[in-house]
């Protein structure tokens, strides 16, 4: 795609930039691919004469979202999702940067696959894609991957994706080695020997006759890892925390001053294990949906800052993988297109300000992964989302843009809808009704 | 309508006392007729019943087959290994294939919880759950209830102890839902590793000591302990299991003097139950359970086929 030139003034917007604390009515001027200026002074009247003026009609204008945990399924499982289909879903959801997990086929554990993903994403030309690389070779959990070389070729952090690094010895070496470079290790915190079940352990699993996954699987892995973090001095990030006890464990670790961060995904602060109902496989997630007391603690952890980020944990599964018995069905739910609306739920249910909620999906993941995005600051890339925070819409999985339709929010109503998404100064998604209607 | 008016029978959970009573009353009539020389009825003549079994079963499949044949239905038995299931066909594809052959009733057993419910959503015949994973086995629950009711005259107010591997038992779950709905007091007796988590929320009390659990009980229901539970580390050995959770005459003395013993079969003699008790005709209902099984399945097959016919606006009963 050709680089865009010229000026665009987005005026009459509620500017929201968590990176700077800006929350004011005003406008934003882009010049070519970058932000030239932002603030209350930018209006239709003050815009440069040669600028195209876009009236935001009072809607919110924020940095494009950074979704720090996405499975793109390409290469290897293109029947479930591709970089192109995920990107279309992402821009419809206001996501301008995705960070993808390495559990593809082949695994992202060498620079050739890192290059492949980057090249495919450039070719699609929508959402920016940064890859995680495998923390261990082949995601086998046995030998530390070439994390120095992988970082040089563009990997932003290291993780075994949907699997925990189970061996304490390997984790100890991985953290020690990564600490020598200052690289970030992202863990799926789940003790594998306690994680053989299908849903959260408890009364509902007992009633349905499904094997339970104990919440202790998450605490035990977190407690173990944090001890190793303490002795190695590594940077450690726990993905998709789901239990009340996990929040308490991470709060204590942060209190000790460890370089520890964590994220959660919207299902864990919106839904509970009740969503499984009578064997509903769209509610089969990893980690599993937990109890209401866990959900409330996750929301509280987001409110008090213990949980730094919200990521969609986008896990596309085709119909054949979900139209099975609960035990046989694959884990995971899609979420990149619903990330913004689901995160805005925190402003209603958990008392977060608009800026605090948006920080979880913009500046916080960007800073953690050292990405040049997630802010409205001048001279950064013009990656923007314009949205109506009050617009409610029924989620109909079949109309979502991902190739796979396994949304845990199917048949629910979310509030907050994207009117326009801008990447590098170019409008890549426009909702006609919200923009012109 | 207070009788059983559903097209499927997927579980006992959520059934009303009136629905359960309706099925038990009908089954009781068949139980009497089954003891007479002429056991055959024409009521399901021309109907097709398919037994689709994804798990090996001799007892339950035979019971369903006999029940269907006594009602004059045509019966097909499909067992995995001998069918396209072994060739990798999915559950839903199998359901669609069978559905295209216009059966009236599918009797399904599957090793996964929820499988029969899933299948029932993909067919337009009636579906009877013959056991799905660890979830439900409703005809077993009904036949146990009928057996108890015939011997004790009622279900309400009885103390029933369900003992053994309740965690992995669909029989236990169907019995819990049915018996608590009918007003019985249900207790579970199991080591903690074999108990249902959160069982108290199902309206039962939990014991980890067999004698304490069956104390003052009217019915002692023993469950089969499966060999794979030993390798899974749920219990250390059959020897140890029998010592603490196996039913022998000494432990049974803790129950009421007229307490009756049940077992869904097949039994592991000397593991969960002593032969001395299993074979005691004054205390053991085990053979009567098998007899009631056929009667209950006749009642269920008749009822769901009738409900299917009524739903389709087809003639039923005398009109046919």
Name all domains of chain A by residue range, CATH numbers in brackets.
Answer: 7-61+382-391+411-436 (2.30.40.10), 64-368 (3.20.20.140)
Question: A328 and chain B: CB distance < 8 Å anywhere?
Answer: yes
Partners of residue A210 in chain B, C-beta under 8 Å? 113-114, 133-135
Question: A105 and chain B: CB distance < 8 Å anywhere?
Answer: no
Question: A125 and chain B: CB distance < 8 Å anywhere?
Answer: no
Q: What's the half-sphere exposure (Cβ side, CA atoms, 13 Å) at B141?
A: 30
Residue A76 in tokens: 């290897």
Beta bridge partners of A384: A63, A422
Is B84 a residue whose pLDDT tops 70?
A: no
Question: A327 and chain B: CB distance < 8 Å anywhere?
Answer: yes
Q: Fill in the DSSP letter of residue A161.
A: T
Q: Fill in the DSSP letter of residue A3.
A: P
**Residues A388-395: what's their mean pLDDT?**
97
Partners of residue B196 in chain A, C-beta under 8 Å? 206-207
Parallel, antiparallel, or unpaired: how do β-strands A309-310 and B159-163 relate? unpaired
Tens of pLDDT, residues B253-271: 999 999 999 999 999 999 9
Give residue B316's pLDDT band: very low, low, confident or very high (50, 70, 90). confident
Nearest to B12 by CA among B204, B203, B195, B181: B181
Parallel, antiparallel, or unpaired: how do β-strands A34-39 and A22-31 relate? antiparallel
Q: Do B113 and A207 touch (CB under 8 A)?
A: no
Q: Are B85 and B115 in contact (CB under 8 A)?
A: no
**Residues B232-250: what's their mean pLDDT?**
92
Q: Do A327 and B196 touch (CB under 8 A)?
A: no
Partners of residue A291 in chain B, C-beta under 8 Å? none
Tens of pLDDT, residues B22-53: 999 999 999 999 999 999 999 999 999 999 99
DSSP reduced 3-state for A64: coil
Distance from chain centroid for Cα A112: 24
Q: Do A206 and B117 touch (CB under 8 A)?
A: no
Identify the sign of the CA torsion A406, A411, A413, A417: positive
Residue-level pLDDT at A39 = 97
Residue-level pLDDT at A327 = 96
Name the minimum distance, in Å, from the CA of B166 to any CA of chain A.
10
Nearest to A385 by CA among A23, A127, A94, A9: A94
Tens of pLDDT, residues B90-141: 889 988 999 999 999 999 999 999 999 999 999 999 999 999 999 999 999 9
pTM over cut 0.90: yes
Q: Write down the residue that tokens 């030239």 correspond to.
A: A36
Distances (CA, A) of A103 to A133, A258, A261: 9, 28, 22
Residue-level pLDDT at B320 = 40
**What span, in angstroms and rounded, lies between the C-alpha atoms of A410 and A282?**
8
3-state secondary structure chain B: CCCCCCCCECCCCCCCHHHHHHHHHHHHHHHHHCCCCCCCCCCCCCCEEEEEECCCCCHHHHHHHHHHHHCCCEEEEEECCCCHHHHCCCHHHHHHHHHCCCCCEEEEEECCCCHHHHHHCCCCCEEEEEEECCCECHHHHHHHHHHHHHHHCCCCCCEEEEECCCCCCHHHHHHHHHHHHCCCEEEEECCHHHCCCCHHHHCCEEECCHHHHHCCCCEEEECCCCHHHHHCCCCCCHHHHHHHHCECHHHHCCCCCCCEEECCCCCCECCCECHHHHCCCCCECHHHHHHHHHHHHHHHHHHHHHHHHHHHCCCCHHHC
Residue-level pLDDT at B319 = 42
E-only strand ranges, A188-252: 199-200, 212-213, 235-238
Residue-level pLDDT at B315 = 86
Give residue B245's pLDDT band: very low, low, confident or very high (50, 70, 90). very high
Distances (CA, A) of B110 to B8, B56, B64, B92: 16, 9, 15, 13
**Residues B226-230: what's their mean pLDDT?**
71
Residue B247 in tokens: 């039913």
Residue-level pLDDT at A165 = 97
Partners of residue B135 in chain A, C-beta under 8 Å? 208-210
**Residues B184-195: what's their mean pLDDT?**
97
**How many residue pairs from chains A and B have C-beta atoms closer than 8 A?**
69
Phi, psi of B111, deg, nearest 5: -80, -5
**What span, in angstroms and rounded, lies between the C-alpha atoms of B220 and B189?**
10
Give residue B80's pLDDT band: very low, low, confident or very high (50, 70, 90). confident
Residue of B54, B88, B114 to mutate, interface with A, max A Cβ within 10 Å: B114
Residue-level pLDDT at B2 = 74
Burial group, residue A217, by CB count within 10 angstroms (0-12, 13-18, 19+): buried
Q: Are A232 and A220 in contact (CB under 8 A)?
A: no
Residue-level pLDDT at B86 = 61
- Say how many residues make up chain B: 320
- The packing angle between helices B138-152 and B170-181, to 10°, is 50
Residues of A marked as catalytic: 313
Q: Fill in the DSSP letter of residue A243.
A: S
Phi, psi of B3, deg, nearest 5: -75, 180
- Chain A stretch 227-286, residues whose beta carbon is closer than 8 A to a beta carbon of chain B: 278-279
Q: Write down the residue that tokens 């800052």 correspond to.
A: A305
Residue of B52, B91, B112 to mutate, interface with A, max A Cβ within 10 Å: B112
Closest-approach residue (CA) in chain A for B113: A209
Nearest to A384 by CA among A2, A70, A30: A30
Tens of pLDDT, residues A89-129: 999 999 999 999 999 999 999 999 999 999 999 999 999 99
Residue-level pLDDT at A299 = 98
Give residue B82's pLDDT band: very low, low, confident or very high (50, 70, 90). low
Give residue A209's pLDDT band: very low, low, confident or very high (50, 70, 90). very high
Nearest to A414 by CA among A236, A318, A270: A270
The string of DSSP letters for A91-148 reads HHTTEEEEEE-S-SSS-S-SHHHHHHHHHHHHHHTSSEEEE-EESBGGG-SSSB--HH
Parallel, antiparallel, or unpaired: how do β-strands B185-189 and A65-70 relate? unpaired
Name the minimum distance, in Å, from the CA of B63 to any CA of chain A.
24
Is A437 a residue whose pLDDT tops 80?
A: no
Q: In which region does residue A6 sit, left (phi positive, over 0), alpha (psi from -120 to 50) or beta (all else)? A: left
DSSP reduced 3-state for A69: strand
* Minimum-distance CB partner of B197 among A212, A324, A327: A212
The string of DSSP letters for A346-395 reads HHHHS---HHHHHHTTTHHHHHHTT-S-S---TTSB--EEEEEEEEEEE-
Parallel, antiparallel, or unpaired: how do β-strands A384-394 and A413-423 relate? antiparallel
Q: Do A209 and B173 touch (CB under 8 A)?
A: yes
Partners of residue B13 in chain A, C-beta under 8 Å? 207
Parallel, antiparallel, or unpaired: how do β-strands A22-31 and A7-17 relate? antiparallel
**What span, in angstroms and rounded, lies between the C-alpha atoms of A338 and A233?**
36
DSSP reduced 3-state for A206: helix
Q: Do B113 and A324 touch (CB under 8 A)?
A: no
* Minimum-distance CB partner of B198 among A202, A325, A326: A202
Beta bridge partners of A279: none
Least-confidence region, from A142-156, A297-311, B191-205, B228-242: B228-242
Question: A203 and chain B: CB distance < 8 Å anywhere?
Answer: yes
**What span, in angstroms and rounded, lies between the C-alpha atoms of A214 and B289?**
37
Name the minimum distance, in Å, from the CA of A203 to any CA of chain B.
4
- Say how many residues make up chain A: 437
- The packing angle between helices B17-33 and B138-152, to 10°, is 70
Q: Are B177 and B153 in contact (CB under 8 A)?
A: no
Tens of pLDDT, residues B142-189: 999 999 999 999 999 999 999 999 999 999 999 999 999 999 999 999
Name the minimum distance, in Å, from the CA of A277 to any CA of chain B.
11
ipTM higher than the 0.95 cut: no
Q: Are B104 and B305 in contact (CB under 8 A)?
A: yes
Partners of residue B173 in chain A, C-beta under 8 Å? 207, 209
Q: What's the half-sphere exposure (Cβ side, CA atoms, 13 Å) at B289?
A: 26
């Amino acid at each position: 795609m050709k680089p865009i030139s010229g000026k665009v003034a987005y005026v009459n917007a509620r500017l929201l930039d968590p990176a700077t604390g800006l929350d004011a009515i005003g406008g934003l001027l882009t010049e070519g691919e970058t932000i030239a200026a932002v603030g209350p002074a930018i209006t239709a009247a003050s815009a440069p004469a040669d600028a195209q003026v876009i009236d935001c009609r009072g809607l919110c204008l924020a940095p494009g979202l950074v979704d720090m945990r996405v499975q793109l399924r390409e290469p290897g499982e293109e029947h479930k999702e591709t970089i192109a289909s995920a990107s279309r879903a992402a821009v419809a959801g206001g996501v301008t940067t995705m960070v993808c997990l390495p559990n593809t086929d082949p695994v992202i554990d060498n620079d050739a696959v890192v290059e492949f993903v980057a090249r495919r994403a450039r070719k699609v030309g929508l959402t920016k894609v940064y890859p995680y690389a495998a923390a261990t070779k082949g995601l086998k959990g046995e030998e530390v991957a070439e994390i120095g070389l992988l970082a040089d070729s563009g990997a932003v952090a290291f993780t075994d994706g949907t699997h925990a690094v189970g061996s304490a010895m390997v984790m100890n070496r991985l953290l020690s080695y990564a600490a020598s470079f200052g690289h970030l290790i992202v863990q799926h915190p789940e003790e594998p020997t306690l994680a053989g079940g299908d849903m959260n352990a408890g009364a509902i699993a007992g009633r349905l006759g499904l094997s339970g996954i104990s919440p202790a699987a998450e605490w035990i892995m977190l407690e173990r890892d944090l001890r190793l973090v303490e002795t190695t001095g590594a940077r450690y990030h726990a993905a998709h925390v789901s239990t009340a006890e996990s929040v308490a464990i991470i709060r204590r670790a942060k209190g000790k001053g460890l370089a520890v961060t964590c994220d959660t995904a919207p299902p864990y602060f919106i839904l509970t294990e009740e969503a499984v109902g009578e064997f509903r496989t769209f509610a089969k997630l990893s980690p599993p949906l937990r109890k209401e007391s866990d959900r409330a603690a996750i929301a509280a952890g987001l409110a008090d800052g213990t949980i730094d980020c919200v990521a969609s944990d986008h896990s596309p599964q085709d119909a054949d993988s979900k139209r099975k018995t609960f035990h046989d069905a694959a884990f995971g739910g899609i979420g990149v297109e619903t990330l913004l609306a689901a995160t805005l739920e925190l402003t209603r249910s958990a008392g977060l300000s608009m800026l605090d909620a948006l920080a979880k999906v913009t500046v916080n993941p960007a800073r953690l992964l050292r990405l040049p995005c997630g802010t409205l600051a001048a001279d950064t890339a013009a990656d923007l989302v314009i949205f109506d925070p009050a617009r409610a819409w029924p989620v109909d999985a079949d109309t979502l843009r991902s190739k796979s339709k396994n949304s845990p929010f199917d048949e629910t109503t979310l509030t907050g809808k994207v009117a326009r998404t801008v990447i590098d100064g170019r409008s890549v998604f426009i909702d006609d009704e919200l923009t012109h209607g | 309508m207070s009788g059983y008016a559903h097209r499927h029978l997927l579980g006992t959970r959520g059934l009303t006392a009136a629905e359960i009573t309706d099925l038990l009353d009908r089954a009781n009539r068949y139980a009497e007729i089954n003891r007479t020389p002429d056991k055959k009825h024409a009521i399901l003549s021309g109907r097709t019943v398919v037994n689709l079994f994804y798990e090996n079963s001799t007892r339950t499949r035979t019971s369903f087959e006999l029940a269907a044949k006594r009602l004059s239905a045509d019966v097909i038995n499909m067992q995995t290994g001998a069918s396209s299931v072994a060739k990798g066909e999915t559950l839903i594809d199998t359901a669609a294939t069978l559905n295209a052959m216009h059966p009236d009733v599918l009797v399904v057993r599957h090793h996964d919880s929820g499988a029969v419910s899933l299948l029932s959503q993909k067919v337009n015949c009636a579906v009877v759950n013959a056991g799905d994973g660890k979830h439900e086995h409703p005809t077993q629950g009904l036949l146990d209830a009928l057996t108890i009711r015939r011997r004790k005259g009622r279900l309400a107010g009885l103390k029933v102890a369900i003992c053994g591997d309740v965690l992995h038992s669909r029989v236990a779950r169907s019995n819990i839902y049915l018996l608590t709905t009918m007003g019985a007091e249900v207790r579970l007796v199991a080591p903690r590793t074999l108990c249902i988590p959160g069982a108290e929320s199902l309206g039962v009390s939990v014991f980890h000591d067999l004698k304490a659990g069956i104390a003052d009980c009217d019915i002692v229901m023993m469950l089969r302990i499966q060999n794979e539970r030993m390798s899974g580390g749920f219990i250390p050995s059959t020897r140890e299991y029998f010592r603490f959770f196996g039913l022998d005459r000494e432990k049974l003395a803790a129950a009421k003097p007229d307490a009756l013993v049940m077992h869904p079969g097949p039994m592991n003699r000397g593991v969960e139950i002593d032969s001395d008790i299993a074979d005691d005709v004054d205390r053991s209902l085990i053979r009567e359970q098998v007899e009631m099984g056929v009667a209950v399945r006749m009642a269920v097959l008749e009822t769901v086929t009738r409900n299917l016919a009524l739903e389709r606006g087809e003639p039923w009963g005398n009109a046919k």
